[in-house]
Amino acid sequence: MPSTLFTARLLGYLVGLVPLGVLLLLFRQTIPQPIGLGLVAAGFMGSIWLQQRARARFPYNFKDRAEWLALGIYAVSVSAILLAFNTL
pLDDT at 43: 87
What mean pLDDT is reported for the chain?
89
* Helix (H), strand (E) counts: the chain: 4, 0
pLDDT at 46: 85
pLDDT at 77: 94
**Rounded to two decimals, what is the model's pTM?**
0.81
* pLDDT beneath 50: ranges in the chain: none
Residue 14: CB partners within 8 Å, gap ≥ 6? 74, 77
